[in-house]
Structure 1
């Protein structure tokens, strides 16, 4: 996708409210209803350029990405987790975001150095939730699904779907508490690291 969900849900309403001279909450309500009409199962739902055209907003994706670059932030547990895991694992990114937006994220604090490969679902015309994306990922890495460990924050796309093909998947749920009802739910990346260490019998 050309922009991650939380970012699109902030940027588009702001632009729409400004253009139509309405309150931001009114804009958010209207836009959420329009998002639902398209739905997550449609590839267009993940494209920022599609929504800019849909709402007739006179701005292009590259302009927004340029403005957004300075606003990217990392969760406090990201750097220490990447530093630790990169010593024992080959780290890859598997995302629905477009490559341009992924690159903006990776430039933050130079975290790009921790990752060996980057895979973008929309760049190959897929939605991340599809099994075919994960199978293509494994094929490109020349590994079996059971050799891949995946963590993500979407309960269906990042947890349930990869598990169906044998990937060891963890559900990252920092806020809603759903991790309590999933076998492999974690509250944060430090929690995730502890799970991996416990499985390997390593308490470091």
Structure 2
């Protein structure tokens, strides 16, 4: 296999992974898209699950400006990629203010505040891996108690379908309707929103 063919295959493989991991139930995080797909305009909660792609903060900010949820949460403690994320965030956006021990949620919160002038309602900062991202979010929402207003669903990510929800019909990864362990609420899950653009600095 020559180098060009190898690069072409690598690009196809990356696109396959991105298509799987970046699935979306709606084409955009807007009220109109929610209404067209689900028959409601606002979710009770939108959760950005940390990670290390700073442009996720842009996706969250766009959704906040669109008013797609009543409560906005950033989830992310410190895990095996957090130190690299701290360094990368400082390099991409030198004006961000966060400590040397900042969690992913704190870094994203700083970014959304500095770049977009917006603030979220809640930060979950205890999690250390994908598994307890959802369990600590569940606990945070249960403590808050007033986040979930029936019959409006929770807007989260596909992690919720596998870690926090029991699928009712079909493949759990693609379940649009499920009974969720988060406060016992009926929820619909959204795929992770991976931005395909550069972070605005």
Larger Rg computed on CA atoms: 1
The interval holding the TM-score normalised by the smaller chain is 0.3 to 0.5
Decide which structure has greater helix share: 1
Q: Normalized per residue, which structure has more strand? A: 2
Q: Using structure 2 for the length normalisation, give the TM-score.
A: 0.36
